[in-house]
Structure 1
Amino acid sequence: MRFKNVWTQARIVKITDVAANVRLFELEPETGIQPYSAGAHIDVTVLINGLPEIRSYSLVGTYAPVGGRYYIGVKRLPASRGGSTYMWSLVPGARLTISQPKNQFQLTFGRPYYTLLAGGIGITPIYGMALELAQKGADFRLLYAGSSRCEMPFLDDLGANLGQRLSVFTSDEGRRVNVTEVVSSIEAGTQLYVCGPLSMLDGVRHAWQARGLPVGDLRYESFAASGQFAATEFQVTIPRLGKKVKVGANQTMLDALALAGVDVMSDCQIGECGLCVVDVLAHSGVVDHRDVFFSDQQKAENKKMCACVSRIASGDVVIDTAYRGASFTQ
């Protein structure tokens, strides 16, 4: 059960390969585009095993009323739950059901300095932020990390627009971004915006907390919440409902529960908002927490888990899906 969206039909006007395994989709909604700011995303209905599911994609670039198009970047992932596979199967002219833009990752203007940090496909929301800051003459830098330059979308355009404000880190060139050093270099009043894999976000959060920097000055968005263990099938038991549900290796607990008729409130589906939290009554194996909602201490307690991303490695879990106010206390 997700928060209510306002949906519309959109036609895929163009599909462009913008990097290895990354495609840019140009969408033309029937109702015209709605104003949005950098960091916004839209929800898209995709078909997985013939059933409709919802995936969220950041809007690329900045709002331009002329032309009336949305742009989203989709990376093809080998371990995809099906969203990227479905999107990559589409061709220009195909139609999608999309939501109006929403923004939970919005820039706050008026700061003396900004640092933007993007890892891989995490550049999609950060790209528009960099352009907006440049247009406003703000003082900022963008640190962009990836496996190789050929896998990093918008790199040439960013270089042309940002010049020395852009720093590129690529694993194949032996230059990796050190998030501890990044946070150590943050000066008072600076806001840090981060979008990338869970390992990057965890590293930044730990370094940020260690320095005692203001919590509100760190803004982040996650994607592809990979965990510490490979995803394998596990079983979920819900004694209160008398149900046992199998969760496939390429399926989330949230999706499996929904298919089994177990309603769990959710929204972000990337382990950030905490709406899908369930109580862990017992478990075998290891709880593989893949969210950024709970603190390290809460994760170590293994009393709750985010059904949208977290899993059980080499075991099973017994949960209760009943609403608990404490689920939303951090």
Structure 2
Amino acid sequence: MAVSQTQVWQSATVVEVSEIARDIKRIVFAPEFPVKAEPGSHIDLLVQIDGEDVQRSYSVVDSSEDGSRIAISVFKAPLSRGGSEFMHAVSVGDSMRITQPLQNFPLRVGAQKYVLLAGGIGVTAIANMASVLRRIKADYRLVYVGRSRDAMAYLGELAELHGDRFSAHIDDEGTSLKIPELLADVDQDTELYMCGPIRLMDAVRRTWIERELDLPNLRYETFGNSGWYDPEEFIVRVPKLNLEVLVPTDRSMLEALEDAGADMMFDCRKGECGLCEVRITEINGVIDHRDVFYSERQQRLNKKMNCCVSRAVTSPSGVRTDSASGPAVVTIEPN
């Protein structure tokens, strides 16, 4: 059972497609019912996967003042569940079904200081925030983290636009971000907005808590394909529903259970809201918690998981061994 914001679906025409970094395409739509996208907003789209319409969410990078043009950027993930592959095949002139902009990650104007942290394709959720803060002359820093320069979308444009307020940390150039240094001069009057891989976000959150900074000032959005381990297929058992389902590497537990006919509760599908929470009654393997809903202590307990993003793997290393007799198995009770 889906529980979400009111979604106004509309037709939209693809008016621009360009490759802006390695495996990243910028796609611009002309929507049927234009609405300006505020910073931190996203749109949902219907993509075709195995002949079926599937809903996917993408952050809005920017939009025109009147909303007649709205842009997203899509990374073609090597472990894609099909959505990014579909989006990388669209062409100018194609018509798609999209929602009007939706908001789960709002920028609060009025803080004394801001730190904006973007990891990889997470820059799509952060770039528009930085533009707004620049325009209103706020006190802000924009920090962009990536593995290599050629895989960082909008790197040159952001550096030019934000000048000395911008810094880039690039792993293969030996300038990887050090979280303690990032937060060294952050105080209780600073709000930090971040979007990126779970490892980056978890490291920031741990240090934030250690420094006893105000938790409401730490705001974030994540994406569900980032985890601690590479995805493996695993088995989920739901005794109350008499179900045993194999979850493939390119499907989430939530999607696999829906495919099997289970009526599931969910909203964000990104591990943020906790609505898809299920209770774990038995586990043969290790839970790869990919959510940002639970605290570190709750994740260690392994009593519950967010089935929209979290998975099971066979070993704590995330690497299958010769002794592994089969996939990991998790037995659950839906809420």
TM-score, L = length of structure 1: 0.94
Cα deviation, residue 224, structure 1: 4.3
User: Who is 1:21 aligned against?
Assistant: 23
Task: Report the secondary structure of 1:59's partner residue.
Answer: strand
Cα pair 1:277 1:304 within 8 Å, conserved: yes
CA distance in 1: counterparts of 2:312 and 2:101, whole angstroms: 33
**Partner AA of 1:48 in structure 2:** I
Deviates more, 1:14-23 or 1:218-227: 218-227
Tell me how far 1:28 sits from its aligned partner: 1.0
Taking the aligned partners of 1:122 and 1:281, their CA distance within structure 2 comes to: 34
Q: How many residues align?
A: 320
Runs of 4+ deviating beyond 6 Å:
none
Distance in 1 (alpha carbons) for counterparts of 2:164 and 2:99? 36
Aligned partner of 2:331 among 309, 313, 318: 318
Amino acid at match of 1:237: R
What's 2:51 paired with? 50
Distance 2:54 2:40 in 1: 22
User: What is the match of residue 78 of structure 1?
Assistant: 78
Contact 2:276 2:306 in 1 (8 A): yes
CA contact (8 A) 1:44 1:56 kept: yes
Deviations 1:170-209 (A, max 9, x none): 1121100112221232123010011110001100110011
Which whole-Å CA distance do the structure 2 matches of 1:181 and 1:54 have between them? 39
SS of the aligned residue for 1:230 comes to coil
> What residue ranges of structure 2 are gaps of 5+ in the alignment?
315-327
In the TM superposition, 1:252-291 aligns within 5 A as 252-291=252-291
Task: List alignment gaps of at least 5 residues for structure 1.
Answer: 324-330
For 1:15, give the aligned amino acid. V
2:329 maps to amino acid: D
Whole-angstrom CA distance in 2 between matches of 1:188 and 1:133: 19
Match for 2:48: what amino acid? L
- Separation of aligned partners in 2, 1:250 and 1:240: 26
The code of the aligned residue for 1:142 comes to L
Q: Which amino acid aligns with 1:9?
A: S
1:241-294, Cα deviation, whole Å (9 max, x unpaired): 111111001110011011111011112111111111111111101111111111
Q: For 2:292, what is the secondary structure of its paired residue?
A: coil
Using the TM superposition, give the Cα deviation of residue 36 of structure 1 relative to its aligned residue in structure 2, in angstroms. Answer: 2.6
**C-alpha RMSD over aligned residues:** 1.3
Local SS of the residue matching 1:25:
strand
Report the counterpart of residue 59 of structure 1 in structure 2.
Answer: 60
Does the 8 Å contact 2:234/2:246 carry over to 1? Answer: yes
> What amino acid maps onto 2:12 in structure 1?
A
Q: Secondary structure at the match of 2:111?
A: coil
Structure 1 SS opposite 2:62: coil
Question: For 1:9 and 1:179, how far apart are their aligned partners in 2?
Answer: 42
Letter in 2 for 1:12: V
Q: How high is the TM-score relative to the length of structure 2?
A: 0.93
AA aligned opposite 1:59: V
> Bigger CA drift: 218-227 or 33-42?
218-227
Task: Give the structure 1 partner of residue 321 of structure 2.
Answer: none
CA contact (8 A) 2:63 2:70 kept: no
Counterpart CA distance in 1 for 2:18 and 2:82 is 20
